[in-house]
Amino acid sequence: MTNLVDLTISSLRQLLDQREVSSVEVTRAYLERIEAIDPKIKAYLTVTGQQAMEAAMAADEYMASGKTAPLTGIPLGIKDVICTKGVPTTCASRMLEGFIPPYDATLMERLNGQHAIMLGKLNMDEFAMGSSTENSAFFPTHNPWDPKRIPGGSSGGSAAAVAARLCAGSFGSDTGGSIRQPASHCGVVGIKPTYGRISRFGLIAFASSLDQIGPIARDVTDCAILLEAASGHDPKDSTSVNRPVPSYTGALKEGLKGLRIGIPREYFIPGMDPEVEEAIRKGVSALEGQGAEIIDISLPHTEFAVATYYIIAPAEASSNLSRYDGVKYGFRAEGYRDLLEMYTATRSTGFGPEVKRRIMVGTYCLSAGYYDAYYKKASKVRTLITRDFQDAFARCDCIAAPVAPTPAFKLGEKKDDPLQMYLSDIFTIPVNLAGIPGISVPCGFSSEGLPIGMQLMAGHFQEETILKVAYNLELALGKIKDWPEI
């Protein structure tokens, strides 16, 4: 029998339901692999071994009583930005070191309701701010395809853990590309659903008009399974949308005949890695071979997306992160004389450099006299970017483009140049600004053996379309490469 950790969620489901393996066996296999391999990858901030084994026993009992659900007994990893009752949730920040949420995020309630298994909490850029996971206050995560390289970010732990077979699937969050960019760099599938598709109750807030939870998986089918389990309205999150959840797995197998895929010329820019462009072009040809019609489109305001994002996201973050004041939870500095000094010392010591930088940018953009010039201006350009997509989707059903301009870069390469780091999100940010769904699906490798992902985008609540196209790409390309040896 093949190694349990190499199996997809859909294969594990069959084996579990046919009683060929137990959740305890699968969970133990993952925990053993984490112990052996994770010191090289460093995907996990917390491993909840004992709870996982107890949950696996409960899942086996649940199945023995004749019940099952799509994720029953399946071991998953959770980005450390999602609150887990009784389990430390740090956002990879000193500010929340030792914070133990007294409640579960709605996502966790849904997963627990299905008797899914949580293996632990995954590393990330501090407060989800970053594109490399190097901003974690604890340690960087390494790319399973090349440990000298970054896994992407901010959900770098979530993507690396899936690629390194340290969990069967994971959840991350995506504010400007934080699921899709690491999925692309780690050769796995990651979807940022439509804004409002998955409840954010218990997701620690970064930029509230952009943040969205989403899954990362080994293949498109697994990604659809995880998305289906997580989606749906939640009375505790008034931005979650009250709209039926379709069968995402059911939608996969429809063909691409008659489907129009738009290729935006603004996503093929000078300075982009030619190997990325070549991989995307080949992937697009493969989709054409599957019956899709390929058309050229334009998203004319693309070049303004990063600037728009780096006003809106820091502005919202500066407001959201004002709650970290050393009073209610988390870190409190010592050696203060009064309340103001306590706030200032706590925040200055507890936050890392990138978080402080973004709080500064956001505070400045919202400060007296600058609001109209920055935040209001950016909100207007956001309208133009959204309209670009609306116009494009009048002509095509789906847009195909690169996820990132280059494959994974080296650890340390961009760490001291914030603006260069920001530009690595150039192709993923527009999706968040427009609130539409986007997926990253593997479509090739660079000559150095690094994965390259294709990004597929569609209109609001058209997750079925991008999943179907991604599934067809996966079929057309076949198995691209074996998982990396670690």
Partner 1 sequence: MARGIDMARIHKDEVGHVARLARLTFSQEELEGLTNQLNDILTYIGKLEELDTAEIEPTTHALKLTNYFRRDEKGRSLSVDEALSNAPQRENGAFVVPRII
Active-site positions read 79, 154, 178
Site for partner 1 in 85-104 (CB under 8 A): 98-100, 102-103
Query: Can you count the helices (H) and strands (E) in the chain?
Result: 16, 11
Tell me if 394 contacts partner 1 by CB under 8 A.
Answer: no
Tell me if 195 contacts partner 1 by CB under 8 A.
Answer: yes
Tell me if 378 contacts partner 1 by CB under 8 A.
Answer: yes
Q: What residues does 47 pair with on adjacent strands? A: 120
**Min separation Cβ 392 and partner 1, Å:** 16
Tell me if 58 contacts partner 1 by CB under 8 A.
Answer: no
Distances (CA, A) of 317 to 153, 207, 214, 357, 365: 17, 5, 20, 11, 11
**Min separation Cβ 457 and partner 1, Å:** 14
**How far apart, in whole angstroms, are the C-alpha atoms of residue 168 and residue 19?**
18
**Min separation Cβ 466 and partner 1, Å:** 17
- Selected from 53, 241, 475, 480, the binder of partner 1 by CB under 8 A is 241
* Under 8 Å between Cβ of 408 and 275: no
Q: In sequence order, what are the residues at sequence separation of 6 or more whose Cβ sits closer than 8 angstroms to the Cβ of residue 9?
A: 71, 74, 168, 169, 217, 218, 221, 222, 225, 226
**How far apart, in whole angstroms, are the C-alpha atoms of residue 312 and residue 293?**
36
Per-position x/- string for 197-236, each x denoting binding to partner 1 as judged by CB under 8 A, each - no binding:
------------xx------------------------x-
Site for partner 1 in 419-458 (CB under 8 A): 419, 422, 433-435
What is the SS3 assignment for 465? helix
Tell me if 245 contacts partner 1 by CB under 8 A.
Answer: no
Tell me if 332 contacts partner 1 by CB under 8 A.
Answer: yes
* Under 8 Å between Cβ of 140 and 175: no
Tell me if 325 contacts partner 1 by CB under 8 A.
Answer: yes
Tell me if 112 contacts partner 1 by CB under 8 A.
Answer: no
**Min separation Cβ 384 and partner 1, Å:** 6
Tell me if 405 contacts partner 1 by CB under 8 A.
Answer: no
Tell me if 342 contacts partner 1 by CB under 8 A.
Answer: yes
Closest CB to partner 1 among residues 268, 329: 329
**Min separation Cβ 243 and partner 1, Å:** 10
Instruction: Annotate 84-94 with b (16+ C-beta within 10 A) or e (fewer).
Output: beebbbbbbbb
DSSP state letters, 317-369: HHHHGGG-SSSSSS---S--SSHHHHHHHHHHHHS-HHHHHHHHHHHHHHSTT
Size of the site for partner 1 (CB under 8 A): 75
Site for partner 1 in 278-317 (CB under 8 A): 301, 303-304, 306-308, 310-311
Check residue 174 and report its DSSP letter. Answer: E
Tell me if 173 contacts partner 1 by CB under 8 A.
Answer: no
Tell me if 462 contacts partner 1 by CB under 8 A.
Answer: no
* Under 8 Å between Cβ of 119 and 71: no
